[in-house]
Each structure stands twice: as C-alpha cells, then as structure tokens.
Amino acid sequence: METREKIIVIGGGFAGLQFAKKLNGKRKKVIVIDKVNHHMFQPLFYQVACGRIEPSNISFPFRKIFQRSHNIQYRMCEVEKIVPEENKIITCDAEFTYDKLVIATGCRTNFFGNEQMEHLAFGMKNTQEAIAIRNHVLLTFEKLIIERRRSDDGNWNIVIVGSGPTGVELAGAFAEMKKYILPRDYPNMNFDDLKIILISSTDKPLSNMSEQSQEMSEKYLKEFGVEYLKDEFVTGYDGDRVVMKSGKEIPSNNVIWAAGVTGNIISGIKPEYIIRNRYVTDRYNRVKGYENIFAIGDIAHMETPKYPDAHPQVANVAINQGKNLASNLLKKSPADWKEYEYIDRGSLATIGKHRAVVDLPNFKFQGVIAWYFWMFLHLMLILSVRNKIAIFFNWMWSYINKDSSLRLIIIPNNKNNTEQ
C-alpha cells in the first residue's frame, strides 16, 4: 500500500483552513492542529462585541467542517515548539511527526511592549475577546444604574485605539448602540455624556485606503457623534484614564486596542529567518533555511517586487496563499510549483447603517450602495448556509427595528479556581 505524505497544519484561520480544504479528498494525510476547536470569521468580531450577532454565527467547529473527510484530522492542543531536526512538533499534550509542516498561526494584538495596556485594555483577535468586550461594556451600564454615579465623570466612555477597519467599524457600531439601543434598555439614564472616542496615530482614519474613502469615513464618524482624535499616540492606561503623548488624558473603564497586530511565533525556527515576528519565506511560502516547512497567511514574510516589505496582513492574502501552497504540494515536482503573486481585490469598511466605503482596483464608491455591497460580500464569505441565514435574519431585524436581542452578559464560571 502506498504511504501517504503526512502534512501537519498549525492553525485553522483563513490560511490554514483554505489549505486543508484544498487537500480534502487528496492522497495526503492532513492533521489540523489548533488550540481552539473552531474556525473564526474575524471580520465580524466587532458585531459580536456590540451584540449584533451571536458568536456561534461566525464560529465553525473543525470537526463539523471535516466530518465527511477521509484524509483530514483535527487535534485540539497548543503547539509549544517545533523541532525541525527531527521533523516533529511538541504540543501541550503530545508530540507529532510530519513529512511537511505548514505554519498558519496568524496574529495576535500588538500592544507594542506596553504591558500595562496589554493587561487592562481589550484586544479583539478571537471570539473570547469579542465576548469579553460585550460583557464588560454592558456590565459598565449595569453597575452605573445601581451605583447612581454621575454620567459625566467619564468612567463609561468607550475608547478605541486604532483607526483601521476594526477600530472604525467598532466606533460606528457603538455609536449606533448609544443612539438607538441603550436609551431603550436604560430609560432612566442620560446617555448624552457617553462619548465614543476613536484615537488615531494618523491624520485620517483608514490610512491604507484611498483619500476619498478616508475623508468619507471621517465624515460618517462625525455624523454618528464619534469623537475622532487624530495624530495622537497612547502611552499609558491605568484602568481609569488613558494617557496620550500630547499630555491629554481621557477617563474610561472601556478601552479597546485595535492599533496593530504581531505574529504568533512558535519557538524552534532559527531567529535569522524571522523578521518582525513573521517567518521569512520564498515565493512558494517555504520558510528560508528549511525544505519541508512552510508559512502562510499573516505569519509569512514574503518579499516580492510589488511588495518589498511583505504582503499586508489581510484575509485575501491568507486565503490565496493557502490555496496556492496546497496546489503546489499536489504537483509531482517542485519544478512545477507556481510562485505566489498577490492580486489586490480592494478593501472596504462599514461605519454604521447606510454608511460604508469601498475601494476596488478600478472603482471607488461610498454610502448606501457601498453598505449593501459590504453586507453582501461578508454574507457570501460565511461558510455554512445555516449561519448565512442566521446572520441575515439578525441584520434584517436590526435594520427594521434598530434593535438587537443579543445583549447577553455571560460570565465564565471559575469554579475550578475557587478555593474549597
């Protein structure tokens, strides 16, 4: 019997999942390893954080995805070390050997060495963090209505650091929440003093998009009442006050950090093949210095003539690097492999109902049409039909009623950590 090549994939994000799906049914033994048991649709995390959709609507269990597959297995554990000399990886529970290794560990929130900020502010790179934001913000209002504290002392301000798509979409969603939802839920509270503050290190939001989209997104944010602080750098946060380089301070118990990401590096790869927390790869996503180790997606640093500083860390790159690598590994010889070339399909962001910006390669538009385009595209990218229907229903309900029924505060039970 022919021995099938064994490929281990570390990480089930956009890159790892697309790679594995491309090899489904092929003569390869594939093992997907991830520390959580589901794939997460990260572009809609902000809607979980704001109570627009349920976490289960954008989470897809790996065992469900591959339950009909005969050659793909899933193991839930965290990889602690790669041992290239022995073609094996060490996890928290076991060791696995491989013929080829594909690293698709993605990114985590980058706090740029600010330990205090990392400890006290919220990131939003996984489902748990999105739920934690929702819990914390809603608990703030529940405590305020009991303690009867003044609403103008600033302790309930929602501060978002970073004006990329995540920060802008969060700001718009919270602004809608303040305008339409919170006054209904808390009729005895005055929300006029609640500020949604977006802090940006750049002059305009969405600095990677066109000038037209930047200007329109700033206009939309101001229409929603979002306070946009430009050219500001956050230097500290003690849980009560955000401190900026300019000396300005903002009182807040709700700070969300959306100012950058950094790669999830696993020890074992030689440091000289790591740049800015990304593995250096050739045009085939093969990690420099290794013949059978590959990196795809956000964790890969691939320099090309078009992108001398490596590709942007976006879903389109991850998805297509995963597909391209899988196609290459199915070919008979590396001589037949195809180099990866990123084709920029455009970028988009939404800033509340009927407000969105879209940059396509040859066409840019904003407003209502852009908003519908954003909704359609994200809905089509959702994996299962059931989840598409659930999200569509929630969006339509919110569109008609300007409301949502998903504002559950779910606090984990730390029973195992409680002293007996």
Residue 152 scores a pLDDT above 60: no
Report the predicted TM-score, pTM, of the whole model to 2 decimal places. 0.92
Q: Does pLDDT of 6 surpass 70? A: yes
For the stretch 75-104, pLDDT in tens is 999 999 999 999 999 999 999 999 999 999
| pLDDT(229) > 60 | yes
The domains of the chain are located at: 5-109+262-336, 115-259
The predicted-structure confidence for 290-308, as pLDDT tens digits, reads as follows 999 999 999 999 999 999 9
Number of residues in the chain: 420
With cut-offs at 50, 70 and 90, classify the pLDDT of residue 244. very high
Q: Is the pLDDT of residue 418 over 50?
A: no
Q: Which CATH class is domain 5-109+262-336?
A: alpha beta
Mean pLDDT within 213-221: 97
Same fold, 5-109+262-336 and 115-259: yes
Per-residue pLDDT of 401-417, as tens digits, reads 777 766 778 776 665 54
For the chain, what percent of residues have pLDDT higher than 90?
76
Q: Is the pLDDT of residue 349 over 90?
A: yes
Residue with tokens 């029924």: 405
| Confidence check: pLDDT of 377 > 80 | yes
Strand ranges in 264-354 using DSSP code E only, listed in sequence order: 274-275, 278-281, 293-295, 300-302, 347-350
Both tokens assigned to 420: 């007996």
CA separation for the pair 15, 9 (Å, rounded):
10
Percentage of the residues of the chain whose pLDDT score is greater than 70: 95
What is the domain class of 115-259 according to CATH?
alpha beta
